[in-house]
């Protein structure tokens, strides 16, 4: 059997980790990056450097893309459309679901098939147990290349809509960024009070485990019920103000807590003051009509 082969386009920290994982797994790997010297280490490990995107596409059927955004996807592949026919593009670039859908159509127009991916781990966890990527797009393409994709991370196929992997990915990023920034606001307050991040760690870890709340809220949201009366929205709004005042009293930035307090007060103003925390979704969802 001939050696399995893959092209990797985009060698930021993520693409480099992916190309290295393929090399380690014994694949023949062709790489291309706009800034060519980012391929040097991979070439030293056995990768082949393509001179142009068209050459990289021509090298192998399976092409993994890891770029900053979908504008970069068109900037790289736009001038190389004649080399797209028959390729499988596994696009692990983050962007909006709409852009993923448009890219799948664009690729099909040039004879290529497009799988969208949303990688859920940072580069050091590529090739490690427990890592995961959401995929969506044609199921047969996913199944045909699943084993190869699993060299990188676990593969969680979500469905045929090419936007779906990015819907999951961006939803989780919304959760991730607000949690991580909340942690840094908290750590800044602790530091201001002479408490190190190490000392704070066990308390932060405990508070960051919101699995109980997510478990309970799911039932309420799906039933469109917001009667969680033990944590009324008026109380939540007052509590959010206390966080803002505490940070400001300490001379610290309060950008995210201010935004949260503003949302909570909007929910109260919209008539949800006596309802539970899940009523906040009424302020967040798309207005009717």
Residues lying near ligand NDP in the complex (CB under 6 A): 10-15, 33-35, 38, 66-68, 72, 75-76, 93-94, 119, 122-123
User: How far from the centroid of its chain's Cα atoms is residue 88's Cα?
Assistant: 21
Question: Please, what is the minimum distance in Å from the beta carbon of residue 176 to ligand NDP?
Answer: 10
- Residue 66 or 278: which CB sits closer to ligand NDP? 66
What minimum distance in Å lies between the beta carbon of 67 and ligand NDP? 4
Select 74 or 238, whichever has its Cβ closest to ligand NDP: 74
The CB-nearest residue to ligand NDP is 12
Provide the minimum distance between the beta carbon of 23 and ligand NDP in the complex, in angstroms, as a whole number: 17
The nearer residue to ligand NDP, 50 or 268, going by C-beta atoms, is 50
Structure tokens at 166: 């990015």
Nearer to ligand NDP, 20 or 76 (CB): 76
Q: Identify which of residues 75 and 256 has a Cβ nearer to ligand NDP in the complex.
A: 75
Q: How far is the CB of 75 from ligand NDP (least distance, A)?
A: 4
Least separation in angstroms between residue 134's CB and ligand NDP is 11
Smaller CB separation from ligand NDP, 134 or 264: 134
Output the 3-class SS for 161-191.
CCCHHHHHHHHHHHHHHHHHHHHHHHHHHHH
By CB neighbour count within 10 A (0-12 exposed, 13-18 middle, 19+ buried), where does 275 fall?
buried
Instruction: Name, in order, each residue with C-beta under 8 angstroms of 199's C-beta and a sequence gap of 6 or more.
Output: 190
Cβ count within 10 A of residue 221: 13
Residue 62 or 268: which CB sits closer to ligand NDP? 62
Q: Least Å distance between CB 2 and ligand NDP?
A: 28
> CB of residue 221 vs ligand NDP: minimum separation in angstroms?
27
């Amino acid at each position: 059997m001939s050696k399995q082969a893959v092209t990797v386009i985009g060698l930021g920290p993520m693409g480099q980790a992916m190309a290295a994982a393929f090399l380690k797994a014994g694949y023949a790997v062709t790489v291309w990056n706009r800034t060519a010297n980012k391929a040097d280490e991979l070439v030293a490990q056995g990768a082949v450097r393509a001179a142009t995107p068209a050459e990289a596409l021509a090298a192998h059927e399976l092409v993994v893309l890891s770029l900053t955004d979908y504008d970069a996807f068109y900037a790289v592949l736009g001038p190389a459309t004649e080399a797209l026919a028959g390729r499988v593009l596994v696009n692990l670039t983050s962007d909006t679901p709409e852009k993923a859908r448009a890219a799948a159509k664009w690729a099909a127009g040039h004879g290529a098939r497009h799988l969208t991916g949303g990688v859920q781990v940072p580069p050091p966890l590529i090739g490690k147990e427990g890592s995961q990527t959401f995929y969506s797009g044609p199921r047969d393409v996913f199944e045909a290349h699943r084993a190869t994709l699993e060299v990188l991370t676990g593969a969680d196929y979500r469905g045929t809509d090419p936007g779906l992997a990015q819907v999951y990915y961006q939803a989780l990023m919304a959760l991730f960024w607000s949690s991580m920034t909340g942690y840094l606001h908290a750590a800044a307050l602790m530091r201001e009070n002479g408490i190190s991040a190490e000392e704070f760690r066990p308390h932060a870890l405990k508070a960051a485990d919101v699995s109980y709340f997510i478990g309970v809220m799911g039932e309420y949201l799906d039933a469109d019920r917001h009667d969680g009366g033990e944590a009324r929205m008026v109380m939540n709004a007052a509590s959010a103000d206390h966080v803002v005042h505490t940070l400001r009293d300490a001379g610290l930035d309060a950008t995210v807590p201010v935004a949260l307090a503003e949302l909570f007060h909007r929910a109260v103003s919209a008539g949800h003051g006596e309802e539970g925390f899940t009523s906040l979704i009424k302020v967040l969802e798309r207005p009717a009509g």
